[in-house]
A and B are shown apart, each in its own frame.
Chain A
């Protein structure tokens, strides 16, 4: 039985080094010992002392009161959890707390869900005997912020908020100030929430045991008809959310502590940015363009119109004149249906998804290197790794919950390498920041690979046993001249060498990458070189290692898994292979096309050339988000039929012939697959907004309308269908996904996979690839005339085109796109903070407000495209990744000048 100790004279087995509290909870449940300052996701703190228990070395021997939360169990000791003395101690402590706490429980927002109230009731306080004295009851409520609220008259100084801000989010906005009885919580320099540096993650509010810190949605109140667990619709982290519903409306959101993905944490998008869902702007009826204007129509009219037009186009120009673009924002089941509709009903492989414009090079690159285009490991591996390398990703803004974990890692001083043209939040804390010139990733990776080889740090055994192509690869790398690559990248080669050594010498090293890797003309090459780095150091196939793309959208993994790309059908099976084609035909029970399909950029060209006549877009705002807006608009205008499924009227809807009002993620069932291949259950929280339908139901309707018998959109039956064709979904069913989902591949017996390539690679041996760095055509052609490089990024508060987040309180926190510009460049052009700057590329020009910062180097600019007011993609180019056709959003040659135009207003 190992080591043991007694709880109330009964013998129990002990885990090595565990605290008394943990020990008692394991055997008696989490509420057996009352606590106030303890929280499930925070380190022991030992402040409230309410968790004290008596500990004796012999039965009924002299006992000492010990705070159970931080005291390790002494083997053989006798723990008494509720001795008379302990009961008195708890009561007396809570009585002291109540001498400085308003007794207004009945009108308090957390009435019946207040930990202080529960503990006070439990220990049996009947009287506060102390004479009135100093207190904090006069503290006023802080209502400055669109989401966060505080009322420190309710504060009990447990510091759970301070610790959540530090240990979970790593933001360090909250602290205690003063000392002794005067200790109190402050935000930044004793500011309001709105003035403070708060990032509104809400971790403090969720951690607070009373209503001292809360949110405008009163997420801790018990007022809810039901609580539904679902998955966040924003980024690829896949946070689990617990949504409270009142009267059929979403009231508030919290993050469940038992979620394996987010452990009680989430960001302001997941927690607070839900009010878009019943925003007045939501589309509520189908619209058909008549006489140049979108006019309301019934579903039947819309379906008839679409079916008629599609059948006509198909009859006259063939199925390849029609294309569909699916959405990484929609569920697996909806994506599956979309590609099935295009392939099985329309009869073309012209199906693509927005993964094209973000992580298509990842899928392609990793498939070539390893055989599988998905993250090799899981986020939980951060607990087991010794070094992280983050390339072209700004996770604290774009993947906030994973970003917070990475930041915690970096803050601890563990080896952290950040490769990014900007000094991102993570870069501030990193051991090495390789601040390269945009567009030189390949050169940068080659430098790292060179030094790993020249320092003799290759994992020789791993290379020999598990890879191929190494010798010729090595030969090529060793020919490189570091002085030259140093000049190209702008990164000191000594710094590159130091980073390479840290990565290679770490017992376990993980790499993470984002769109700063993929959205380049050499995006796929960089992905393969990142894979080389993992293989050359043997960092594949076990805990704490691997290549881990940070997936942008909530279901970008799933959209690709479901077959929303021309060359691969559901399950990544080669759609141009006759064998597989036969299998699909058998499964879909219709003729399935073999012809090569169009990728998104090819669709634009085909439309302009008049070859493509109709496009169907599921939740995709091409005009605002795809590069080179003028070209995209031209392509849209050239179509005979543009059908858009949307929840809001977007820029793209302006060119649609039919707009279909879809339901949001809160209104439907299904599954999303996050960046670590975790298939999780999305569960309808509220009924679809009147007049709208889930995207999947729209697909099913139109399939039926066009003669293909497809059952109604239901997550369970569709998952069953999918598991019959997608090999790595074999053991997935709606019922067995449970609360925390399953990571694919899921075997038929239901067992899932946290780590890929443990024994061998999917493709057998891992393949080394070598690539020369090549300057992008964008710079070669335009660099002389447009000497600045603008690179695009994301801000925490908004999500991509902002369609959703701009319709929430987030817009009060971040109100516009700004242009980051280095002080030296600003000075050169007489630009001051807040001036409008005209940014001009060969494609066009936009005016953006300047934010002068040394986060970027001279010569480099950076901005976002969250707001349609700027339409930044007017200036981005049609350059694309040579392999996967992912657009090069990250390197745009531009010129700048202080704007003379209409926006000449100071901030």
Chain B
């Protein structure tokens, strides 16, 4: 991260955004020409290397992306479902091999066979309908369950938009500090994975002296298996937008940026439409409702890089810098977007704010457990009988979610990967020890994370899954810190070799590598990978033993 580049990018404000410009000039062929890059870097007063370096980072901007017409999902759920080979065979009838690329998780984990073409996502049986789709006559037939067990905070319908925003209009009449106090009372913790108390962030940003501040929504739901943020953006967009408005009012921020992953084109459309609706209601712009509070939104569509879900990488991405993880301090609330105080929160976290400010912090805190208040959305993949998005009070037994919500497993399952690729690998034998909350998972040596559930069927070899995890990390590593940059690739190479040849894994070496990644990495990507690997080694020792050299 470069302070100079942050500053130079920030000079243009959000109207002309460097990252968007790079995407704009890449649109025609899949990657920008050097001539276009030169014009852009001149306008932004940057070096050629800066824009070239940024472009080369993203799956959908780099030169290798040129000419790609369809992208096959290679996320964990589609992989364990085993649907993608058949899908690719179908696509080959319409596309050449060079025209077929990959995307990592389109959030269609509930019905798999997911692919992306012409700016839209498809899944399930859509591939059987390719002719119509390619003629732009058909849309996706996607369908998933939405339900809840407990209090419907996020899944409850919010009725007419204008009426819904009375929460915000009322809030504007109150002192932001009063709202902040409610938020503190609610005990709301970030839903992106780290579980950081949200009120702290807002308070820290509020206390920063800079007149220009930002609220950034991390809608880069990159964890394969998770699609609950997508659900909110597409089905409850105003809960998110109002959450951002409220966070803006509390901190004194002027702009809200929604950074949505490129793999979710439909989310971009619904959020944009929702912002237009807000404009029509005059809930945006200068001096909203005569309150003196001004706020505007900017939607940024990402370009394919898992690491952008890490908050500091995300900020660099918006700035058009290479999205490499930054050191902390400074924290984003001190020096975030364009070096200005910034709150970065996940979609689900922000979407909780309207409820908290409508019913009060204490009402919210009454839901869930003492240390994990409120509810949590859970994404269930296609291995369940009733895959979909379910809302559960924090503290709900995992068994209840699996059986009551998901209707149990569709096929025999040996483990569930919960909380994304960096979450724990939960063997079915541990299900009854877990409840849906941060502490229970941590105590048992797992991670609630974003609460996505990807099942590993009985017959799916765990060594394949471990190889997938290492390859995923190696592919998505930003390349900044040494342990993750080199370690994820070396780990992948070792496991690939053990899987495909008579090479045997050296247990000490693998343990050293896992320890190095875990305690040495700069962020949760390298740092988190060892958790599911260690779970696998612990709970599936017998299955994995043949791949190790004898002690």
> With A67-B522, A89-B516, A129-B509 as given contacts, are A183 and B479 in contact (CB-CB < 8 Å)?
yes
Complex contacts, B328 vs chain A, CB 8 Å: 70
Contact partner, A172, options B47, B56, B475, B520, Cβ 8 Å: B47
Q: Is B411 an interface residue (CB 8 A)?
A: no
Q: Which of A127-177 contact B (CB under 8 A)?
A: 129-131, 133-134, 156-157, 159, 163, 165-167, 170-177
Chain B CB within 8 A of A10 CB: no
- Counting CB contacts under 8 A, is A44 at the interface? yes
With a cutoff of 8 Å between Cβ atoms, the chain A residues found around residue B329 in the complex are 70, 72
* B-chain residues with CB within 8 Å of residue A65 when the two chains form the complex: 519-520
A180–B56 Cα distance when bound, in Å, is 11
Residues of A within 8 A of B490 (CB): 96, 99, 130, 133
**CA distance in complex: A187, B48 (Å):** 8
User: Is the CB of B10 closer than 8 A to any CB of chain A?
Assistant: yes
A197 is an interface residue with CB less than 8 A from chain B: yes
Give the most central of B38, B506, B519: most A CB within 10 Å.
Answer: B519
How far apart sit A196 and B494, CA to CA, in the bound complex (Å)?
A: 38
Q: CB within 8 Å of A: which of B1-37?
A: 2-5, 7-8, 10-11, 34, 37
Report B-chain residues with C-beta under 8 Å of the C-beta of A178: 56-57, 62, 479
Residues of chain B contacted by A190 (CB below 8 angstroms): 52
Chain A contacts for B494, CB-based, 8 A = 130-131
Min CB distance, A90 to chain B, in Å? 9
**Is the C-beta of B46 less than 8 angstroms from some C-beta in chain A?**
yes
Candidates A47, A89, A133, A186; contact of B481 at CB < 8 Å: A47
A133 in complex: contacting residue of B4, B47, B489, CB < 8 Å:
B489
* Cβ–Cβ contact B483 & A93, under 8 A: yes
**Shortest beta-carbon distance from B114 to chain A in Å:** 23
- The 8 A CB mask of A173-195 against B (1 = contact, 0 = none) is 11111111111001111100000
Within 8 A of B (CB), among A303-347: none
The residue in chain A whose Cβ has the minimal distance to the Cβ of B49 is A175
Smallest CB gap from A64: residue in B: B519
B486 at the interface (CB under 8 A from A): yes
Contact A131 B493 (CB under 8 A): yes
How far is A411 from B5 in the complex, measured between Cα atoms in Å?
Answer: 8
Evaluate contact between B5 and A166: CB separation under 8 angstroms: yes
On chain A, the residues within 8 Å of B46 by CB distance are 172
Contact A186 B474 (CB under 8 A): no
Q: Is the CB of A188 within 8 A of B47?
A: yes
**Residue B497, interface by CB 8 Å:** yes
Q: Is A413 an interface residue (CB 8 A)?
A: yes
A122 near B: Cβ within 8 Å? no
Q: Is the CB of B45 within 8 A of A89?
A: no
Q: Closest B residue to A182 by CB, please name it.
A: B479
If the complex has contacts A170-B4, A411-B4, A413-B10, are A183 and B50 also in contact, measured as CB distance less than 8 A?
Answer: no
Whole-angstrom distance between the Cβ of B37 and the nearest chain A Cβ: 7
Cβ contact of B482, chosen from A43, A157, A428, cutoff 8 A: A157
Q: Which residue of A lies closest to B321 (CB)?
A: A175
In the complex, chain A residues whose CB is within 8 Å of the CB of B421: none
* Residues of B close to A539: CB separation below 8 A: none
A408 at the interface (CB under 8 A from B): yes
Main DSSP-derived SS at the A contact region: loop
**Interface flag for A470 (CB, 8 Å):** no
Q: How far is the CA of A233 from the CA of B250 in the complex (A)?
A: 58
Q: What's the A-B contact tally at a CB cutoff of 8 Å?
A: 182
Most buried by A among B478, B497, B520: B520
Task: Give which listed residue, B4, B493, B513, contacts A92 with CB less than 8 A.
Answer: B513
A412 to chain B, nearest CB (A): 5
On whether A100 and B4 interact (CB within 8 A), knowing A88-B512, A189-B37, A189-B48, the answer reads no
Across the interface, name the chain B residue whose C-beta is closest to A408: B4
A52 adjacent to chain B (CB < 8 Å): yes
Q: B234 to chain A: closest CB distance in Å?
A: 29
Q: Does B480 contact A (CB under 8 A)?
A: yes
Residue among B7, B45, B486 having the largest count of chain A Cβ atoms under 10 Å: B486
In the complex, what residues of A have CB within 8 A of residue B10's CB? 413
**Chain B residue at smallest Cβ distance from A43:** B3
State in angstroms the CA–CA spacing of A46 and B526 once bound together: 14
Complex contact B477–A129 (CB within 8 A):
no
Q: Does B488 contact A (CB under 8 A)?
A: yes
Most chain A CB inside 10 Å of its own CB: which residue of B3, B5, B49: B49
Give the nearest-CB partner of B508 in chain A.
A129
A130-B509, A167-B4 known; A92 vs B49 contact (CB < 8 Å): no
Residues of A within 8 Å of B, CB-based: how many? 64
Q: In the assembly, what is the distance between CA of A89 and CA of B497, in Å?
A: 25
B485 touches A186 (CB 8 A): no
B386 lies within 8 A of chain A by Cβ: no
Q: How far is the CA of A129 from the CA of B508 in the complex (A)?
A: 10
A794 at the interface (CB under 8 A from B): no
Q: Which residues of B contact A182 (CB under 8 A)?
A: 479
CB contact under 8 A between A70 and B4, given known A65-B520, A189-B37: no
Q: Does A282 make an interface contact (CB < 8 A)?
A: no
- Across the interface, A129 reaches (CB within 8 A) one of B2, B3, B327, B506, namely B506
Given A96-B486, A181-B479, A189–B52 Cβ distance below 8 Å?
A: yes
- Whether A744 is near chain B, meaning CB under 8 Å from some CB there, is no
Task: Specify which chain A residues have a CB less than 8 angstroms from the CB of B34 in the assembled complex.
Answer: 189
| B53 and A176 contact, CB distance less than 8 A | yes
Q: Which residue of A lies closest to B490 (CB)?
A: A130
Q: Does A564 contact B (CB under 8 A)?
A: no
* Contacts A96-B482, A167-B4 given; does A186 touch B53 at CB 8 Å: yes
Give the contacting residue for A49; candidates B57, B479, B481; CB below 8 A.
Answer: B481
Report B-chain residues with C-beta under 8 Å of the C-beta of A43. Answer: 3
* Chain B contacts for A412, CB-based, 8 A: 3-4, 7
| Complex CA distance for A196 and B38, rounded to whole angstroms | 13
Is A45 located at the chain interface by the 8 A CB criterion?
yes
List B residues 495-551 near A (Cβ within 8 Å). Answer: 497, 503, 506, 509, 512-513, 515-516, 519-522
Most buried by B among A85, A408, A413: A413
What are the residues of chain A within 8 A of B307 when measuring CB–CB? 179
- Chain B residues contacting A130 (CB-CB under 8 Å) are 490, 493-494, 509
Contacts of A48 in B (CB 8 A): 481-482
- Bound Cα distance A197, B47 (Å): 8
Kindly name the residue among B7, B47, B475, B522 whose own CB sees the greatest number of chain A CB atoms within 10 A. B47
Interface residues of B in 308-325 (CB under 8 A from A): 322, 324
Is B322 a contact of A181 with CB atoms below 8 Å? no
Neighbouring A residues of B515 by C-beta, 8 Å: 88-89, 92
Known A-B contacts A47-B522, A49-B483, A179-B479; the reply to A134 vs B489 at CB < 8 A is: yes
Does A97 have its Cβ within 8 Å of any Cβ on chain B? yes
In the complex, A530→B386 CA distance in Å?
78
Q: Which A residues are in CB contact (< 8 Å) with B476? A: 179-180
Residues of A within 8 A of B57 (CB): 177-179
Asked whether B190 is an interface residue with its Cβ less than 8 Å from the other chain, the reply is: no
A604 adjacent to chain B (CB < 8 Å): no
Q: Is there a chain B Cβ closer than 8 Å to A429's Cβ? A: yes
Contact of A180 (CB < 8 Å), options: B485, B503, B506 = B485
Least CB separation from B478: chain A residue: A179
Chain A min CB distance to B548 (Å): 14
Which 6 residue pairs across A and B have the least CB separation, nearest first? A172-B47, A183-B479, A175-B53, A175-B49, A70-B327, A46-B327
A–B Cβ pairs within 8 angstroms, 29 of them: A46-B480, A49-B483, A49-B521, A65-B519, A70-B328, A70-B329, A89-B520, A92-B512, A93-B482, A96-B486, A97-B482, A131-B494, A131-B503, A156-B482, A157-B485, A166-B4, A167-B3, A172-B46, A173-B49, A175-B47, A175-B322, A177-B53, A177-B56, A179-B56, A180-B479, A181-B474, A181-B485, A182-B479, A186-B49
Interface contacts beyond A85-B519, A92-B516, A179-B305: sample of 11 additional A-B pairs, CB < 8 Å, sorted by A: A47-B480, A47-B482, A50-B482, A67-B327, A99-B486, A131-B503, A174-B49, A176-B479, A178-B57, A183-B478, A197-B47
Binding site for A on B (CB under 8 A): 2-5, 7-8, 10-11, 34, 37-38, 45-50, 52-53, 56-57, 62, 305, 307, 322, 324, 327-329, 474-483, 485-490, 493-494, 497, 503, 506, 509, 512-513, 515-516, 519-522
